[in-house]
Amino acid sequence: MRSRRMSLSGWGRFPVQECEVWRPERYHDLMLREGAMTLRGQGRSYGDAALNENGNVVLNARVNRFIEFSPDTGLLRTEPGVTLEEIVSVCLPHGWFLPVTPGTKYVSIGGCVAADVHGKNHFRDGSFGAAVQAFELLTADGARLSCTRDNNSELFFATLGGMGLTGVIGEVTLQLRRVESAWMKVRQKKSPDLERVFADLADGDPEDEYRVAWIDCLARGRHLGRSVTMSARHARMDDLSGTRRGQPLVVAPRRKRTLPFNFPGWALNSLSIGVFNHLYYAREGARGGPSVSDYDRYFYPLDAIAHWNRMYGKRGFVQYQCVLPSDTAFDGMREILERLSRSRRPSFLAVLKRLGEESGGLLSFPMPGYTLALDLPLRGRGLLPLLDELDRIVIEKGGRVYLAKDARLSAEAFRHMYPRLDDWLAIKGRIDPDNRFTSSLARRLGLEPPHG
């Protein structure tokens, strides 16, 4: 197997680093014979989690075979490079969908386990890990360990959300969820301020399987936090009419467009984002009763535009995603939104979700509470100090920042946010004492064996 030196970045296009990239074709080549390494799926984490500056990066993408799928039980076993898009296209025609999905389908199943990703249904179904029955871990000493909640359970929970630092996540066994159709029944509702959006996310219709709010983060004063809350559930046969009912598990593929060039730096500013937010709030909030949308438009609206990250220009952007526990979330989110709106550094996309129970992953992000995700273009010098200020609010309120989105958190702030870090480090020291599994994120945050 030969390698190539390449400039790589995550989805936020910041930072960009030189790495030695390997692209194995076979499962047993995922583990390099020598040297330290970082695994990489589809590179859809935003920052430096799948980067290894001046070191080895091993791509999963071609190690993507389906091994077993039962259309009766919905149990699926695949190699780690299989993408969520591939899973949906193979399994949905049999009436099985992903139990949990992030906002893009262009991610690998290995990357989803490593980040223990969450979706719009976390408040009721938990994170990706909840549906993972087992995975194989290829460890630094060459072993292939089968990890489940009962077998090698310590490693199971250190790897779930462990950002690829305990070993290679090999074959993954996932329990899919039964659906009657490929369609979603969706409702939109305006929430005029932060109090109402919190209430709408907490106490919606018990039938809702998914719930998320888009926030106008330029709104201030009594409008602070005004949002459109979107709730949905998988459509049932009696929600469908005409040809949809005849072929409930089929939707026409969407036409894909490409953003052909980097937007100039001035294109996204508080004026253009303000106009967008105003129109979006008016249009989406005014939609009438429930509508039926195909799963692709509902879950993956951004996937319709390839390279949409070019919208943020050459310097890229940072996604800041934090979660605050239920009892401090309201005050904390108000402080964060006020700080943001004062800074006149608007976020093009601001999304608020309610999260449910933790998965048990020692470094997993979700906790019961509310999570806010902001896309902030890297422009001028003020952004990173502003995010440090937001970190201080998050720490004070007992919350944390999401590693799969992070590119700039300090090791000190990280330590305050992840109380089970020492337990994780003890396991890392045992399973990978020479630190064969590393990444730029791991070095930045001190995710290294105690004596490594």
Query: How far apart are the C-alpha atoms of 359 and 330, rounded to whole Å?
Result: 23
Task: Give the alpha-carbon dihedral of 430, 435, 441, 446, to 10 degrees.
Answer: 60
- Under the binding rule (CB under 6 A), the answer on residue 118 touching ligand FAD is yes
Closest C-alpha to 423, from 43, 34, 157, 118? 157
What is the rounded radius of gyration, in angstroms, for the C-alpha atoms of the chain? 21
x/- letters, 77..116, toward ligand FAD (CB under 6 A): ---x---------------------xxx--xx-xxx-xx-
Work out which of 8, 9, 11, 417 binds ligand FAD, going by CB under 6 A: 11
Q: How many other CB atoms are found less than 10 A from the CB of residue 311?
A: 16
| In the complex, minimum distance from the CB of residue 439 to ligand FAD, in angstroms, rounded to a whole number | 6
Residue 108 DSSP one-character state: B
Q: Say which residue the tokens 């077998």 belong to.
A: 151
Write out the DSSP string of 433-447.
Answer: TT--B--HHHHHHT-
Is there binding between residue 361 and ligand FAD (CB under 6 A)? no
Give the three-class secondary structure for 154: helix
What is the spatial distance between Cα 181 and Cα 236, in angstroms, rounded to a whole number? 6
Interface residues for ligand FAD in 51-80 (CB under 6 A)?
Answer: 60, 80
Report the residue from 91, 92, 117, 447 that binds ligand FAD according to the rule CB under 6 A: 117
**Could you tell me the smallest distance in angstroms from the CB atom of residue 44 to ligand FAD?**
3
Which residue's CB is nearer to ligand FAD, number 45 or number 328? 45
Closer by beta carbon to ligand FAD, 321 or else 341: 321
- Using CB atoms within 10 Å of the CB of residue 221, give its burial: 0 to 12 exposed, 13 to 18 middle, 19+ buried: exposed
Q: How far apart are CA 74 and CA 277, in angstroms?
A: 40
Query: Nearer Cβ to ligand FAD, position 59 or 224?
Result: 59
**Token pair for 318:** 């940072």
Query: Of 162 and 332, which CB lies nearer to ligand FAD in the complex structure?
Result: 162
Q: Report the residue number, 49 or 427, with the smaller CB distance to ligand FAD.
A: 49
The one among 13, 15, 36, 45 contacting ligand FAD by CB under 6 A? 45
| Site stretch for ligand FAD (CB under 6 A), options 42-50, 143-151, 253-261, 285-293 | 42-50
CA distances from 273 to 47, 321, 369, 380 (A): 23, 19, 28, 17
Pick between residue 169 and residue 350 the one whose CB is nearest to ligand FAD: 169
What is the rounded CA–CA span in Å between residue 36 and residue 90?
35
307 vs 430 by CB, closer to ligand FAD: 307
Tokens (6 digits) for 447: 């995710």
- Nearest approach, Cβ of 43 to ligand FAD (angstroms)? 5
**C-beta closer to ligand FAD: residue 224 or 373:** 373
How many residues bind ligand FAD, per CB under 6 A?
33
Which residues 236-295 are close enough to bind ligand FAD by CB under 6 A? Answer: none
Please give the Cα distance from 224 to 219 (Å, whole number): 5
Stretch that binds ligand FAD, among 40-48, 69-77, 222-230, 342-350 (CB under 6 A): 40-48
Closest distance between ligand FAD and the C-beta of residue 56, in Å?
Answer: 12
Q: Is 35 helix (H, G, I), strand (E, B) or coil?
A: coil
d(CA 140, CA 32): 10
Among the listed ranges 139-147, 160-168, 327-335, 414-422, the one in contact with ligand FAD (CB under 6 A) is: 160-168
Interface residues with ligand FAD (CB under 6 A) are 11, 38-45, 49-50, 60, 80, 102-104, 107-108, 110-112, 114-115, 117-119, 163-164, 168-169, 302, 404, 439
